[in-house]
Amino acid sequence: MEQKQVIEALTKLKDPSNKKNFVQAVDLIITFKDIDMKKTDNQITVFANLPHVPGRDFKICALVGPEMKEESKAADKVVLLDDFEKYKTNKKEMKKLSRDFDFFIAQANLMTNVAAAFGRILGPKGKMPNPKAGCVVLPKTNLKPIVERLKKVVKLVSRNTSMVQCSIGKENMDEKMLAENAVSVYNQVLHSLPQEKNNIRQVMLKLSMSKPVKVE
């Protein structure tokens, strides 16, 4: 898929009939063929790194020990080990934490503590610190570069459906930036498939409130 094809699809989405009184997200949809996504082994999870921040500020929470307090300052929120129990016993606060933050970073040697305290809420939401996303770190790791990278990461999960979908930005972003984000996600999903391009049925773009437009 080329940037030119994406820009052509974006132009079609700019039809006046799609105009709303708020700034809509631009979603990329990739559908699959010749692969049974109902089989767990075939399901894909991709943490796609984007060239450009996709229009909204992702919030990052660090779950760490006191020895990482300084290294974790770049995170939007830091929950220290001594406070894990407070969240474990307060379901309301735990749910609020899971809603307010997009990614959770954890100290590797505390993963057992993290799972015990936060797993029952973060697990079902798919927000447990994930090594694939670089969210499980060694003690004393400086989190600033990790936080900066996560601000430009989108998660795509197929589960048992033959498609993935994610936001690549907002409709008021520069077309070239949107196209670069779309191509980047496409290539990362492509390389996660067993037969790569032969497993892709079609690629579409849509606005929050529009019908999908095929990228051709």
Would the pLDDT of 60 be above 90?
A: yes
148 pLDDT higher than 90:
yes
Mean pLDDT over 91-112 rounds to: 96
Give the pLDDT score at 187.
97
Q: In the predicted model, is pLDDT for residue 216 greater than 90?
A: no
111-144: pLDDT as tens digits? 999 999 999 999 999 999 999 999 999 999 999 9
For residue 196, the SS3 value is helix
Q: What is the mean pLDDT of the chain?
A: 94
Which is nearest to 182 in space by CA: 199, 170, 200, 168? 168
pTM: 0.86
Flag whether pLDDT at 182 surpasses 90: yes
Residue 189 contacts residue 203 (beta carbons within 8 Å)? no
Question: What confidence tens digit (pLDDT) does each residue in 2-51 have?
Answer: 999 999 999 999 889 999 999 999 999 999 999 998 888 888 999 999 99
For residue 193, pLDDT over 90 is answered with: yes
- The pLDDT of residue 6 is 97
Question: 51-55, 67-71, 125-129, 186-190: which range is least confident on average?
Answer: 51-55
Q: How many CB atoms lie within 10 A of CB 180?
A: 18
In this structure, the strands spanning 200-207 and 25-32 are antiparallel
pLDDT band with cut points at 50, 70 and 90 for residue 100: very high
> Looking at the predicted structure, is the pLDDT value of residue 150 above 90?
yes
For the chain, list the domains and their CATH numbers: 3-55+153-214 (3.30.190.20), 60-150 (3.40.50.790)
What is the average per-residue pLDDT within 73-101?
95
In the sheet with 60-64, reading across from the earlier edge strand, the strands are: 77-80, 60-64, 103-107, 136-137
Q: Where is 26: in which H helix or E strand?
A: strand 25-32
pLDDT band for position 55 (cuts 50, 70, 90): confident
Which pLDDT belongs to residue 160?
Answer: 82
Report whether pLDDT(57) > 90. no
Q: Which pLDDT score is estimated for 156?
A: 94
